[in-house]
Structure 1
Amino acid sequence: MRADPSNLPALLQLASAALPVGAFSHSLGLEAALEARVVFDAASAEQWIADYLALAWAEGEAPLWRAQYAAWTELDEQAIATLNAQLIAMRETAELRMESEQTGRSLALWLQALPQLHTLTDAHRAVLGSLHPPAYASVHACAAVVLGLADERDALYAMGWSLAENLTTAAVKLVPLGQIAGQAILRRLANHLPAWVEETLARTPAQACNFTPMLGILSAHHETQYTRLFRS
């Protein structure tokens, strides 16, 4: 089942780089990877971002997002709380956890401030308010449900695209790269996005796995990096 075309504005809004969640202030380990010379040019930056999307997102966070999408659809408060705790716990470092919590809180504030959103009921608001702290993926799944994105595949595309765009923008600033080179990277990442989404759809929540030791090590290094542009 595909989303109603009338919901395309909601899909685009949820995927937009203009969404005021503060994602622009996080590079998710990329800045430390550059200092360690794991990333040093356009090709290595693209590989780093692709690995993050394939391993940390498609195999780890996104399967739990799917479970949250189902839980928000049923408004299963216990499942939402349990999955939210799991999404927070799977963040290996203080900075990666901070990123999820900060963007989760910001997305919740944005969602609750939207006008004429009658599908965001008092019950939804109460459950959102009970998440301390809210993981970004938990709130994103709620947003997808109440914005009327009836096909979880479409919402996953929105989430994957926004991650790819944010990380590519960080690479343009950090490597540094030209804007055209950045857009070329983003286009190639977009070509892989359907396969990453299908990988997510093929996994159960119990199969979620974010075995990314290099990401954890470099994220921890970033906490004491001498100079940095990004919070994580």
Structure 2
Amino acid sequence: MAKPTALPLARLLQLASPALPVGAFSYSQGLEAAVDAGIVRDRASAVRWVGDVAALSLARWELPLLARLITAWHAKDTDTATAINARFLASRESAELRAETVQMGYSLARLAAQLPIDGHESLEALEEPAFPTAYAFAVAAWSVPEREALVAYLWSWMENAVMAAVKCVPLGQTDAQRALLELGDRIEALVTESLETGEEAMAPSLPHLALLSSRHETQYTRLFRS
């Protein structure tokens, strides 16, 4: 019987760490525009915003695609990974949101080549790897279990969103930790939902988020790039 190893967990923690040099901290994914519009103004409204985007966008679109990307990279099926990558890029509804995932994906692909991660040439062959595509590649290369990878991806996204709220709402650090506790309680159910979501139920569109993201592109003052 094989001895369990903590290495995949350590690799996953590295991949989900805010110290990962992909520039996630510079993006708010529309949250800053929601603050400017008065939709997000305190901890309760920030939790509602982050929770809604997680439930209505990530769990129904980004995470199901991420799971499919992990499967494709495990099988070394570059054609399928490329097709899913194009599908995700096509779902980004504003220039900012598309630029965000392309910049972060490029940064992670470049890091994969510099570390290096085995097989990084397959990822580099993609013209514009989106961030979920690059993340899934690292997950497969490092033999990280799929469910744990989705949990870490969602947690990392939530943490980044709450830290953006700290800067632009603003929120205090204690309120931020309370928000993360509340949001963290939802992760198990959201990941389960995403793994059970079939093609017919996958929904990439959040029209209000797309509108706010578009408005952010011409917002008078900005802390974040999206």
* TM-score, normalization by structure 1: 0.92
Secondary structure of 2:185's counterpart equals helix
RMSD (CA atoms): 1.3
How far apart, CA to CA, are the structure 1 residues paired with 2:200 and 2:18?
31
Q: 1:135 aligns with which of 119, 130, 135?
A: 130
The correspondence for 1:156, drawn from 135, 150, 153, is: 150
Say which of 185, 188, 199 aligns to 2:193. 199
Could you tell me how far apart the structure 2 residues matched to 1:220 and 1:227 are? 14
Bigger mean CA offset, 189-198 vs 4-13: 4-13
User: Which runs of 5 or more residues in structure 2 are unaligned?
Assistant: none
Say if 1:88 and 1:135, in contact at 8 Å, map to a contact too: yes
Mapped partners of 2:46, 2:206: distance in 1 = 16
- Percent identity over paired residues: 45
2:32 aligns with: 31
Q: How does 1:75-224 map to 2 (within 5 A)?
A: 75-114=76-115, 117=117, 120-121=118-119, 125-149=120-144, 151-224=145-218
The answer to whether the Cα contact below 8 Å between 2:113 and 2:121 also exists between their aligned partners in 1 is no
Give the equivalent residue in structure 1 for 2:18.
17
- Once the two structures are TM-superposed, the CA of residue 205 in structure 1 deviates from its matched residue by 4.3
CA 1:199–1:223: 2 relative to 1, 3 Å: same
Distance 1:160 1:61, change over 3 A: same
Number of residues paired by the alignment?
A: 223
The 1-side partners of 2:96 and 2:125 are apart by 23
Alignment partners' CA distance in 2, 1:4 and 1:209: 37
Residues of 1 paired with 2:149 and 2:108: CA distance? Answer: 15
CA distance, structure 2, for counterparts of residue 4 and residue 158 of structure 1 = 18
Q: TM-score, normalised by structure 2?
A: 0.95
Helix, strand or coil at the partner of 1:48: helix
Letter in 2 for 1:88: L
Do 2:35 and 2:41's aligned partners in 1 also have CA atoms closer than 8 Å? yes
Distance (Å, rounded) in 1 between the aligned partners of 2:53 and 2:166? 17
Deviations 1:185-223 (A, max 9, x none): 011111101111001011134532122111000000000
Residue 4 of structure 1, CA deviation: 4.5
* Structure 1 stretch displaced more, 23-32 or 104-113: 104-113
Q: Which runs of 5+ in 1 are unaligned?
A: none
Q: How much does 1:158 deviate?
A: 1.0
